Amino acid sequence: MANAQKNQTPVDQPKGHAERLQFNQLIAKNPNYFGSFPAIKLPPVFPLSNDTTYEELTCVGYNPDLGVLEAIIHIKQPSGYLGDNCSAGSYEYIQFYVDTGSGFEDVGLVAVNVHDLPNGADCAKQANKPLSYAASVPYSPPNSEDCDDPVLPLVRAILSWQSVPTSPTFPVIWGNTLDGHIQLKPGPTTILDVIEDLFEDGILPITAKEKVATVPSIPIPPPDPAPLTLAQLASLYGGKENQVPAHRFGFAEASSALSAPAVSSALVADKMAEFAALNIDWSKIIAAVAEKDADVAYEQLDCLGLEGAPGFERLVATFQIKQNLGYSGNLCSAGSYEYVAFWADWDNTCAFTYLGTVQVNVHDINRPAGEDLCYMAMLPVDLSQHRTACEVPKVARVRAVLSWATPPSTTDPNALNFWGNSIDSHVQIRPGSVGNPLNPKISILGGIPTSQIDSTTGFTMLNARFAGNNLLADSLGRACPFGGRVEVQGPEFPGYKYRVQVRDITSGGLWQTVVNPLMLTRWDGTTYISNPDPSGYFNYQQYTDNIENLLGNWDSSGDDLWEVKIDIADFFDTPVLGAIPDIHRVQLDNTAPEAAVHIDSAGDCGKFGVGATLTGHFVARDANFGSYSLGTLPFSGPVTPGSGTTQTAAAPGDPWSLNTTGMKPCGYDVHLFAADRSIVNSSWGAHNESAADTGFCLLSNL
């Protein structure tokens, strides 16, 4: 862990502290105040770039099975984050880009809410700074390459405080940029792959290629490959002793003998004979394995942080794979596993509690020297019984232990195996109240924390943000309704059942039970269906079997005000005595905006000469209006207005104009796009949308 920062006093603040506290105002007056946007042509006042005094992006990682990109950031100072734990604080934005060979592609933005939290020390007298936060975006691109051709993209994560990165070369003021290589999950082998291999191996003549050109690319689901035997590993790494020593590829065998619950001379004798038959000295392997712990020549834990809002939290550890060989086979084989055990001292008792172990599949992958691969392991955690009020910030110490080929100890947080290491971090437990352990809870509705949904109107509160990525539900901070599929998320109570019900309170409807089957995701990325019983109750699942905390999928309709309720029951569907159902309101809007556009001068679909000015009217309206854009296709023209966030007047609407001077002669479409600000399908950026079009022909000689 990085060294903790010393306590800051009002007269001993880092350079630029005063400018940081006035960041928004200074940028509003001069966008180039810090020298980050010289194109503005305004002189910089306080040049500053990539300053990591307050926050720093320290690690990136990817889990191919989960399809999730992660970043870990460190918050280093006790102040400078625009408010304490009871305030709105400020936001660290992390933008992810991936380059698979054709340049960087935007794959997602996420934000982390941070606050001024005082420096301190835990019960082990370790400083509580830096605080480690994790943030993630989903990334599961379709990969057409099979296991013979590893795809190792370059990931770029950009951390920027209070300013959203907009390009891979974004000029960061406070924050930094970090690159790393990841490994994508191979696509399935297809019939075409098999045929191509036959051509390459000379089994089929090249002249036959035309005959198979039309063969469909049908996936062939292969059986899971079996792990390589010791003899196969010895053959694979034979002659590569300097790269993969015998105590690496023979480690699992030696470890099983050393960790056996009872000593068996017969077992050891069998192992010695097995290794001797392969010309491997068993005693040297045992001596090497017993010599040291925490060898990080092949893999190493780098970062550990806590991700998520209350009810949606997970510990995330990132690690690097350093070598090309030594992981028990390539991507076409079973490979081997890196095991990460998670521990925590949530309540500062100096006693670690074992939380669980996560395994990540790794393989031999050839790549240029120094190009380490970045992976991550993730474990959902339930912190509902560890929260405090915002006036008393709570920081906990967590630990991750990495071990290759054999799982780490589940009883001793200090135990290390030969291959791997451990790291500690300090994390913030988000504030909240500790309630009845069996009170059911809806933490998130439609992607928005229920604490940010108005309990009377059912709209989101002003400046509400999504729980998954901390991004604004509306770019202008306006209140938003909901539409489409409304996801219900909250904490689990394994051993009990729950039921989600909804009712239309605008029309005075009765409670309706939500019985849509749920597609749940386990920690390892696999999915399964959870169905309700005949009474409409679902079984609560373990966190590791429901990493998205998904409890219900309500397919909403109409535009009324509704209530959503969850109650809890025992195995026999009997309500739990004393448990209080949790009820929340949501305002629906499933109606798309009104959209229309027409040309007044010469009418729709008319002919005009280059240089003519076209005029017309357009309508873009909705009860919960979001935005509109107006432009021309296939080539853009200077339509005025081009966009807006205020709805137009009723039909015939607002005027628009287009000066065609300099435009290319062509047939054009005047395209209107309108969106409301309803949160559709619980997804950021998804709204009810409408479009309208009219056409004209632009001629050069009219």
| Range of weakest confidence among 35-39, 148-152, 307-311, 686-690 | 307-311
Report pLDDT for 216.
59
Q: Is residue 164 part of a domain?
A: yes
In a domain, 434, yes or no: no
End-to-end alpha carbon distance in the chain:
73
> Quick check: 491 pLDDT over 60?
yes
Residue 1 scores a pLDDT above 50: no
197 in a structural domain: no
| 177 and 307 within one domain | yes
Parent domain of 455: 444-587
Per-residue pLDDT, averaged over 237-249, amounts to 79
Average pLDDT over residues 464-468: 92
What number is the average pLDDT over the span 154-169? 97
User: What 3-state class would DSSP assign to 511?
Assistant: coil
Instruction: Note whether residue 9 is domain-resident.
Output: no
How many Cβ atoms are within 10 Å of 369's Cβ, its own excluded?
5
The answer on 173 and 153 residing in a single domain is: yes
Q: How far apart are CA 554 and CA 590, in angstroms?
A: 13
pLDDT band for position 384 (50/70/90)?
confident
Same domain, 176 and 241: no
Is residue 114 predicted with pLDDT exceeding 90? yes
Mean pLDDT of the chain: 90
Contact 697, 667 (CB under 8 A): yes
The pLDDT of residue 77 is 96
Query: Is the per-residue pLDDT at 530 higher than 90?
Result: yes
In whole angstroms, give the CA distance from residue 66 to residue 387. 28
Interacting residues of 62 by C-beta distance below 8 A, sequence separation 6+:
68, 69, 70, 139, 155, 182, 183, 374, 375, 376
Cα-to-chain-centroid distance, residue 487: 17
Identify the domain boundary among 266, 291, 316: 291
pTM for this one?
A: 0.83
Average pLDDT of span 205-216: 61
The whole-number pLDDT of residue 4 equals 35
Pick the residue with more confidence: 397 or 223? 397
| Residue 23 and residue 168 share a domain | yes
Q: Are residues 601 and 579 in the same domain?
A: no
Under the banding of pLDDT at 50, 70 and 90, the label for residue 7 is very low
Verify that 598 and 583 share a domain, yes or no: no
Task: Please state the rounded mean pLDDT for residues 542-555.
Answer: 91
- Are residues 336 and 351 located together in one domain of the fold? yes
Lowest mean pLDDT among 252-266, 391-405, 575-589, 619-633: 252-266
Residue 2 has pLDDT above 50, yes or no: no
What is the count of structural domains for the chain?
Answer: 4
pLDDT at 254: 80
Question: Using CA atoms, how far apart are residues 396 and 551, in angstroms rounded to an integer?
Answer: 28
| Between 523 and 485, the higher pLDDT residue | 485
- Whether residue 6 has pLDDT greater than 60: no
Does the structure show a pLDDT above 70 at 38? Answer: yes
Where residue 5 falls among pLDDT bands split at 50, 70, 90?
A: very low
pLDDT of residue 206: 65
Q: Would you state the pLDDT for residue 542?
A: 86
pLDDT over threshold 80, residue 260: no
Same domain, 354 and 339: yes
Run of H or E residues at 558: none
pLDDT given for residue 10 in this prediction: 45
* Same structural domain, 267 and 325: no
Q: What are phi and psi of 278, to 5 degrees?
A: -105, 15
On whether both 483 and 583 belong to a single domain, the answer is yes
Task: State which of 289-303, 376-390, 677-691 shows the largest mean pLDDT.
Answer: 677-691
Q: Tell me what pLDDT residue 552 has.
A: 97
pLDDT band per the 50, 70, 90 thresholds, residue 602: confident
Q: Does residue 11 belong to any structural domain of this protein?
A: no
pLDDT at 261 (0 to 100): 62
For the chain, what percent of residues have pLDDT higher than 70? 91
AA identity, residue 678 = S
- Stretch 652-676: mean pLDDT: 96
Residue 548 has pLDDT above 80, yes or no: yes
Q: Residue 20: what pLDDT?
A: 95
| Residue 676 forms part of a structural domain | yes
Tokens of 503: 């009712």
pLDDT above 50 (res 8): no
- The answer to whether the CB of 435 falls within 8 A of the CB of 330 is no
Domain at 664, CATH number: 2.60.40.10
The SS3 of residue 413 is: coil
Q: Do 516 and 578 meet the contact criterion of CB atoms below 8 Å apart?
A: no
Q: Is residue 38 assigned to a domain? A: yes
Q: Are 302 and 262 found together in one domain?
A: no
The tokens for 359 are 């395994």
- 285 and 311, same domain (yes or no): no
Cis peptide before 494 (omega within 30 of 0): no
| Single-letter residue type at 687 | H
Looking at 564, 587, 610, the residue that finishes a domain is 587
What is the phi-psi region of residue 103: left when phi exceeds 0, alpha when psi lies from -120 to 50, beta otherwise? left
Q: pLDDT value at position 224?
A: 75
Look at residue 576 and tell me whether its pLDDT is greater than 90: no
- Report the amino acid identity of residue 181: H
Q: Could you report the per-residue pLDDT of 338-357, keeping only the tens digit for each? A: 999 999 999 999 999 999 99
Mean pLDDT score, 592-612: 94
On whether residue 118 sits in a domain, the answer given is: yes
Query: How far is it, in rounded angstroms, from Cα 454 to Cα 465?
Result: 13
Check residue 148 and give its pLDDT: 85
State residue 564's pLDDT score: 98
